């Protein structure tokens, strides 16, 4: 066999792995960088799930999305009202989870194209009785949220973001984001004395959750004989500035998050370092994708959940009824609400990308990955067929048919994609919202960019991957080949839409 024949065989048979920067033209690269500048602004303005919700809703409204609850309460469905000739609706739940939809031409009973991400990120939450004093300092107790490596949170500047329900109403606070603001921090032990307590211990035992306390002040209130005067100093300032009392913390959600802004990484500025990219990178890219979806056959839905980092529990997590509620509202305003069966069919006929990050292979920690099946930074949006631990336990394993469908959409639209597993089989693992959507019977595939230093206060993404993820999500929304159902009952024998 000659060289030309061999090359032909290689070119035809061997799977190609494309580096996004090898494929982008100069102008596409500029577009990608511009897109990422906006993404960085979103990250800086959205350090909590509530803030991300506010940003999404504000921009959605500016882009013509209408509150579906308002439409329904005023009986102003897009069909019935001249005032609301909108195809674009949104719904907010508990100020911390959001759904957007662009109504498609097809009947919703045939299913929607859904992209589901989450807005919450690991952090330190203030406890309900946080304020105390020790060694002439005022301190705040925290209880960490989500999977953190505790040592990441020591000796770094932290900002407080949150919502407090007082006797006089609800207020939001942000302290530590402006350069003039004070910040808060958890102390760490000096290396000279860390031998017994940290250095010689197993990493999992060297840092205790109860020691993640924030320094909050050191000027006392009152004279030397005054009891608890450092705690009193903190409480007094809180009252002077925000009119909050110690009891108000009971009904507060205050999160300590890294005070740093999103930054470019590298001489070539090709990457972004920031807190909260898991999963606001998927939230932002799917949000931009649905904003840019001007018309579609299948209804496009973007879901932004809370509580993924603690197992999707609670009324705002993916295990809740939020999606069913939103879908029945959509059926209602489309005049396709024929009861429970139409809702079930709309859900089972839907296709879903579970938009979450995967772990990129790390040059310093290659050993935890199986190289042939690990995602790498810069190689495009990553399809993760299954997550889970050990033998795929706890995972929603996407069907070959659905992976094939998404692969076909991506290839057709020149989206650079790769596949990934979350580490070596016996190394560990994790999960996403995928299985909580798959329970409705819809096809679900995990799909998002890979990041380095995942769950750290400074996660790293590739600008090329962020941009490809956005383009990939947009292609998924606007794909007009309606063959999404792979043998499901399409349910199109009823429902009065097209
Ligand atoms: Zn995530």
CA of 278 to the centre of ligand 1 (A): 5
pLDDT for position 115: 98
Nearest to 175, CA basis, from 279, 310, 305, 48: 48
Give the distance (Å) from ligand 1 centre to CA of residue 230: 39
Q: Which of 400, 474, 472 is nearest to 443 (CA)?
A: 400
**Do the Cβ atoms of 109 and 491 come closer than 8 Å?**
yes
Indicate the pTM of the whole model: 0.93
Q: How much is the pLDDT for 76?
A: 66
**If you measure from the C-alpha of residue 432 to the centroid of ligand 1, how many angstroms do you get, rounded to a whole number?**
6
pLDDT the model gives residue 337: 75
**Alpha carbon distance 460, 273 (integer Å):** 5
Q: Which pLDDT does position 261 carry in this prediction?
A: 97
Span from the CA of 280 to the centroid of ligand 1 (angstroms): 8
Yes or no: say if 264 and 169 are a contact pair by the CB < 8 Å rule.
no
Ligand 1 centroid to 201 CA: how many Å? 29
**d(CA 166, ligand 1 centre) in Å:** 32
Expressed in angstroms and rounded, the spacing between residue 73 Cα and the centre of ligand 1 is: 34
| Cα–ligand 1 centroid distance for 86 (angstroms) | 32
Name residues with Cβ closer than 5 Å to ligand 1, which is an ion.
278-279, 356
Centre of ligand 1 to C-alpha 232, Å, is 39
CA of 279 to the centre of ligand 1 (A): 5
118 Cα to the center of ligand 1, angstroms: 7
Residue 394, pLDDT score: 82
Q: Which pLDDT tens digits describe the chain residue by residue (498 residues)?
A: 899 999 999 999 999 899 999 999 999 999 999 999 999 999 999 999 999 999 999 999 999 999 999 988 887 665 555 555 579 999 999 999 999 999 999 999 999 999 999 999 999 999 999 999 999 999 999 999 999 999 999 999 999 999 999 999 999 999 999 999 999 999 999 989 888 888 899 988 889 999 999 999 999 999 999 999 999 999 999 999 999 999 999 999 999 999 999 999 999 999 999 999 999 999 999 999 999 999 999 999 999 999 999 999 999 999 999 999 999 999 998 888 778 999 999 999 999 999 999 999 999 999 898 989 999 999 999 999 888 888 888 888 889 999 999 999 999 999 999 999 888 888 888 889 999 999 999 999 999 999 999 999 999 999 999 999 999 999 999 987 656 555 444 444 333 333
How many angstroms separate the alpha carbon of residue 120 from the centre of ligand 1? 8
Please enumerate in sequence order all residues whose Cβ is within 8 A of that of 97, keeping only pairs 6 or more positions apart, or say none.
49, 53, 119, 303, 304, 305, 306, 316, 322
Burial class of residue 152, CB neighbours in 10 A (0-12, 13-18, 19+): middle
281 CA from centroid of ligand 1 (Å): 9
Query: How close is the Cα of 223 to the center of ligand 1, in Å?
Result: 49
Cα-to-centroid distance, 19 and ligand 1 (Å): 24
What is the DSSP pairing of strand 351-354 with strand 113-118?
A: parallel
Query: Residue 446 C-alpha to ligand 1 middle, in angstroms?
Result: 11
pLDDT of residue 80: 58
Site of tokens 């050993």: 367
Q: What is the whole-number distance in angstroms between the Cα of residue 147 and the centre of ligand 1?
A: 10
Virtual CA dihedral for 40, 45, 49, 54, nearest 10 degrees?
Answer: -120
Measure 421 CA to ligand 1 centroid, in angstroms.
Answer: 14
User: What's the CA-to-centroid distance between 54 and ligand 1, angstroms?
Assistant: 20
pLDDT given for residue 490 in this prediction: 43
- For ligand 1, the distance from its centroid to the CA atom of residue 177, given in whole angstroms, is 24
CA of 496 to the centre of ligand 1 (A): 38
**Ligand 1 centroid, distance to 77 Cα (angstroms):** 35
Cα 394 to averaged position of ligand 1 atoms, centre (Å) = 15
Q: How far is Cα 211 from Cα 213, in angstroms, rounded to an integer?
A: 5
**CA–centroid distance, residue 307 to ligand 1 (Å):** 10
Q: What separation in Å is there between the alpha carbon of 288 and the centre of ligand 1? A: 18
- Ligand 1 centroid–CA 355 distance in Å is 8
**Given this model, what pLDDT does residue 77 score?**
62
Distance (Å) from CA 203 to ligand 1 centroid: 23
What spacing in Å lies between the alpha carbon of 21 and ligand 1's midpoint? 25
**164 CA → ligand 1 middle, Å:** 26
Structure confidence at residue 492 (pLDDT): 40
Instruction: Say how many Å lie between the CA of residue 354 and the centre of ligand 1.
Output: 10
Ligand 1 centre to CA of 170 (Å) is: 29
Kindly give the distance from the C-alpha atom of residue 358 to the centroid of ligand 1, in angstroms, as a whole number: 8
Q: How far is the CA of 448 from the centre of ligand 1 (A)?
A: 10
Cα 209 from chain centre:
24
């Amino acid at each position: 066999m000659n060289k030309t024949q061999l090359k032909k065989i290689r070119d035809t048979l061997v799977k190609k792995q494309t580096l996004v920067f090898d494929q982008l033209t100069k102008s596409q690269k500029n577009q990608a960088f511009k897109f990422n500048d906006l993404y960085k602004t979103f990250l800086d303005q959205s350090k909590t799930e509530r803030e991300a919700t506010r940003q999404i809703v504000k921009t959605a409204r500016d882009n013509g999305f209408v509150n579906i609850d308002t439409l329904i309460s005023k009986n102003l469905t897009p069909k019935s009202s001249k005032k609301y000739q909108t195809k674009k609706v949104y719904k907010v739940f508990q100020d911390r989870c959001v759904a957007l939809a662009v109504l498609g031409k097809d009947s919703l009973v045939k299913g929607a194209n859904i992209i589901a991400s989450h807005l919450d990120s690991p952090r330190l939450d203030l406890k309900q009785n946080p304020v105390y004093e020790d060694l002439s300092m005022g301190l705040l107790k925290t209880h960490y949220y989500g999977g953190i490596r505790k040592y990441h949170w020591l000796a770094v500047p932290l900002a407080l973001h949150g919502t407090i329900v007082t006797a006089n109403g609800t207020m939001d606070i942000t302290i530590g984001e402006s350069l003039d603001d004070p910040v808060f921090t958890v102390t760490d032990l000096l290396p000279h004395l860390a031998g017994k307590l940290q250095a010689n211990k197993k990493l999992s035992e060297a840092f205790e959750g109860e020691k993640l306390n924030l320094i909050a002040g050191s000027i006392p209130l009152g004279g030397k004989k005054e009891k608890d005067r450092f705690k009193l100093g903190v409480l007094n300032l809180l009252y002077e500035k925000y009119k909050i009392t110690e009891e108000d913390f009971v009904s507060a959600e205050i999160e300590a998050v890294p005070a740093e802004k999103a930054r470019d990484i590298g001489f070539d500025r090709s990457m972004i370092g920031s807190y909260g990219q898991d999963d606001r990178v998927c939230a932002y890219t799917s949000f931009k994708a649905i904003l840019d979806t001007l018309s579609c056959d299948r209804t496009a839905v973007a879901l932004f959940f809370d509580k993924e980092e603690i197992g999707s529990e609670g009324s705002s997590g993916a295990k809740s009824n939020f999606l069913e509620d939103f879908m029945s509202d959509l059926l209602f305003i489309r005049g396709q609400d024929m009861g429970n069966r139409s809702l079930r069919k709309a859900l089972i006929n839907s296709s879903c990308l579970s938009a979450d990050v995967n772990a990129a292979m790390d040059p310093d920690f290659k050993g935890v990955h199986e190289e042939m099946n690990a995602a790498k930074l810069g190689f495009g949006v990553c399809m993760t067929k299954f997550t889970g631990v050990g033998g795929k336990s706890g995972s929603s394993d996407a069907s070959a048919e659905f992976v094939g469908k998404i692969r076909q959409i991506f290839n057709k639209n020149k989206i650079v994609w790769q596949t990934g597993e979350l580490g070596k089989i016996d190394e560990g693992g994790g999960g996403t919202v995928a299985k909580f959507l798959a329970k409705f019977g819809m096809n679900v595939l995990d799909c998002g960019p890979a990041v380095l230093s995942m769950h750290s206060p400074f996660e790293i993404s590739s600008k090329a991957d962020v941009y490809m993820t956005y383009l990939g999500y947009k292609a998924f929304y606007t794909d007009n080949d309606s063959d999404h159902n792979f043998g499901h009952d399409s349910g199109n024998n009823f429902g009065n839409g097209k």
